Structure formats: structure tokens, C-alpha cells
Amino acid sequence: MINSASQNSVMSYFKWAIIVTVLGLILGAWLGWQSSGTLSGMASVLFICAVLAVLEISLSFDNAIVNANKLKDMTPEWQHRFLTWGILIAVFGMRIIFPLLIVVIAAQINPIEAVILAASEPEEYARIMHEAHLPIAAFGGAFLMMVALKFFFESEKDVHWFAPLERLMSHLATIKGIEVAIVLISTLVFSSFLEGEDATTFLYSAIYGLVTFLIVEVIGELLDSSQKTLSTAAKGGFGAFLYLEVLDASFSFDGVIGAFALTQNLFIIAIGLGIGAMYVRSMTIMLVEKGTLSEYRYLEHGAFYAILVLAFIMFAQTLISIPEVITGLGGATLIGIALWSSIRYNKKQTD
């Protein structure tokens, strides 16, 4: 499915994303008309869908870069599965089923009742989702922190963007478990600012996120004996696929929770974030086929710095309110600086 020699135009990569956008906006317009019966209500829903799509793209652009880095080394069969099964899991699993499961568990009701609650009592549904934000942020933050630290604490890493810092981290990579230690220390520090049950919930959720990363990595090693570390080389099949799906899920936590700040309607959230997820998938395919990561040597570094920042923001969101626009702009800024640095490097090499 993925052919590095492809000469497709940039727009061709976004064909399906554009189709989903049109269908999503038509569905959004219908929902707006059904709920309000007015053109202004329909326009309001369309606007929210568009904003949610942009929010998802801004929050997940670094995810597309990381996915492309793993995907380019996977077998064609598993590339195809990730780009087909994976999009179904990403759109329907994380944007629809995941929020429902949170309410099912938190409110102790069955899935059908959760759907009815989302449709008939969106305020109550949103309240339950917001109450679940702390454990979700702790879990996702710990997982993403491990993803970023595994990239920088690599003894064989020879391309450095912020050279002094990254060389130091590469040197310290010889210390076994240093990434785990950093995550645990960060968890203890942030949990110390919380009190009572919140502190306990944060601590356990972050540890679950850390353990999940380690389990996924071990499964990857067992399923693909040719790769030494799943987080640095996705050579195979199911192990790499599983890693990328869990990574996608971690990136989705922030967007799904943040979307409730714009609307309490689960179905509008699913449309907006689903559209954004399609563009992220399209960008992933384009990055792989065009070899963008190898052309711009610091782009991947910018993505992993953005992931590290996002991890700490997710931890910090358990203490203070941080607007999603800051999260999205922060990651986009880091990636933009990395792209600019890469272009400067290429120009110097050419000169």
C-alpha cells in the first residue's frame, strides 16, 4: 500500500479525508437542524465540527510524525492493516466507544443506557466525562512521557537537534531504567500537590500508564524477535501495530476530554474529531511515501519534544486548567521550529 516512490500530488493523499469531511459536515448540518430547527443552529454545529477537526489535527500532528517513523519500517501487510483497521479503531473506538466506556464505568450503567444518556442528558454525560479527566490525564501523561523519553535516552542516537542536552541524554541511556525513574519521580511530584483520593487516583493511574507502556513493549519484543526495542524500531507486525494503537489512544485522551469544552453532544464530538483523525492518517501516509522524515532531519525531534511537553501538560491539567489551544499551539510551534531548523541544515549542506 505504501510506496516510497509514489509521485502522487499532495492533495491526492487527502482524498478520503476530504470525502469524510463532506459527509461529516452533512451529518453535522442534519444534527444541527434536528436539534434547533434553525439555520443559525445548523451553522453553529457546523462551526463546532470544524473547530474540533482543527483541534484534533493540531493536537495530533506530532502523532502523525511518530506514526510515520514507526510505519516506514513495518511490513507492507501490517502497514495496510494499520491504515485500514487502525483508522476504524481511531475514529470509532477512541472518539465514540471510549467516551461511552468512561461513562459506563463511572456511572455503572450499561452501554445502551450510556448512549441514551448522551442523547437525552448531554449535561450529565459531560459532567461524568469531566470527573474522569484526572485518571485519564495521569494515565495518558505517563504513557506519552515514556514514549518521548525512550526516543531521547537512546545510546545509539547520533542525530541531535539540541546537541548538548541530547548528547547528555544519549550518554545517560546506559543507566538501565532511567526513563522509568523519571516518570515515577514526575508522578510523585505532581501527586504531592493533590490531596486525599485525588492523589491516590493520580498515582495509581500514572503507574498503570507506565505499566501499559512496558507491557506493550514486551509484547512487541516477544512477537517480533528481529527487533530489539519496539519503541525505536517497528519491524514487524502485531507488536508494532499494538504499540501504535495504544499511542494513538494516548494522544486521543486530551482531545476527547477537551472537546467537551466546546460541546456536550457526543455525536458532534465524534464527527469533528473523526474528521480530524482522517487528516492525521492522511498526513501519516504522505510523510511515509514522500520520505519527509529523512529529508527533514530534525522534524522527528520536534515531534518527540512536543510529546514530552504534552505529557507534562496532561499532568499539569490535573492541578490547573490549561486551554486546549495552548496544547495544540505548543506542539505545532515545536514542530515548526524543527522544520525550520531542518531547512536551514539542508541549505548549509547544499552550500
Which pLDDT does position 147 carry in this prediction?
85
Residue 112 has what pLDDT?
A: 83
pLDDT digits over 300-346, tens only? 888 888 888 888 988 998 888 877 667 767 777 888 888 899 888 88
Question: What pLDDT does 226 receive?
Answer: 46
| pLDDT score recorded for residue 258 | 62
Taking the model in full, what pTM does it have?
Answer: 0.73
At residue 183, the pLDDT reads 94
Could you say which residues of the chain have pLDDT below 50? 4-7, 226-235
List, for residues 145-178, the tens digit of each pLDDT value.
998 898 888 877 778 888 888 888 888 888 888 9
- Tell me which residue of 123, 138, 56, 102 sits closest to 319, measured CA to CA: 138
pLDDT at 326: 73
pLDDT value at residue 227: 45
